Structure 1
């Protein structure tokens, strides 16, 4: 786990930073006709969307693994993760066809041959994944149900890598969500990482965290 005041953007290569800049341009262009992100947040894209998603890189995803992004919306965090981990397969699942098509087009234009989309309900996706990620999509218990249904076995990871499971970007009081998760699966292990502990004090990240769930 990295130390406080870590900036995920500063750990990237020049090519990755260039790809993320191109992603921003493409997403904002599509956002004029498809609601991928709130227009009110466009000017704060770097902090409210990009840096927020990249906090998931505080630990790595091992090469050869598969990550599914439930409710990917505008490709967040699917596309940033695909850029950061070219040897990882990332699938963005979304029930809105216009969003899935936009993300597929953006990934193709960025040359991301490891990023795919699937249009439909999460409960109906038939693939397998070692990791599930999500940002403001559904309660923890529901996300965990989706993950357990598609979970694939993975060889042991090292200390710098996430153990296989669910990684949810969440905010606010999660007391009820965590209780509901444990009621649904008493054996689920929950690990919580406040973003201010990683990034330092920032008004946007004040109550936000990464919730990691594994069996």
Structure 2
């Protein structure tokens, strides 16, 4: 919990408790389904939870707003964000059933009532939301193609509704089709650990 507390010192006791449960429970559940690699499980707090929470450094979601997590995998970034924003509804989508089962089990352990797990391909999702978040699922143009029709116009948070993607590496070619419409926020604005040196939030307003 040291890293989470370092960057989010004002968490409520209920939030702290849930992050502690997540850190303790996910490795146990993951042993059965192997959704997250053993190497990454050893760096769970930094590489999964804190990485997911970087979105909360730039974006706040309004109560009663809806956020889709496209390709949630083991529940990231959706579950850490759902703990951070308990009055926002998070729809965690993945096409692989065992990943959604893991999400369901985690939500039961965490007593998270604001998460809706959805076992579906992103191309087939029809539910609307104010934001879509994603972490290293696919190239940004394809992610946009899957999700742009799902995002409602409006201003349901600290920034206008849109697509928020956690990315890494050289994004010049990937983001070229969007030119100046897309904004990039380096995670080194908030975090000093070397893991975050090449990591970005990529944001495209609806």
Task: State the partner residue of 2:163.
Answer: 166
TM-score (norm 1): 0.88
Contact 2:65 2:156 in 1 (8 A): no
Q: CA deviation at 1:63?
A: 1.1
In structure 1, stretches of 5+ residues that fail to align are 1-5
- Shift in Å, 1:7: 4.7
Structure 2 residue runs of 5 or longer lacking an equivalent are none
Deviation for aligned residue 1:12: 1.6
Q: Partner of 1:18: helix, strand, or coil?
A: helix
Partner of 1:109: 109
Aligned to 1:192, the other structure's residue is in SS state: strand
* Paired positions, count: 201
Higher helix share: 2
1:47-96 CA deviation, whole Å, 9 max, x = no partner? Answer: 11111110100121111110000110110111111111111000110011
CA drift of 1:157 comes to: 5.1
Question: 1:170 touches 1:208 (CA, 8 Å); kept in 2?
Answer: yes
Per-residue deviation, residues 160-199 of structure 1 (Å, max 9, x unmatched): x13210110000000111014x2xxx7x721111011222
* Secondary structure in structure 1 of the residue aligned to 2:117: strand
Shift in Å at residue 24 of structure 1?
Answer: 1.9
State whether structure 2 residue 49 is matched by structure 1 residue 50. Answer: yes
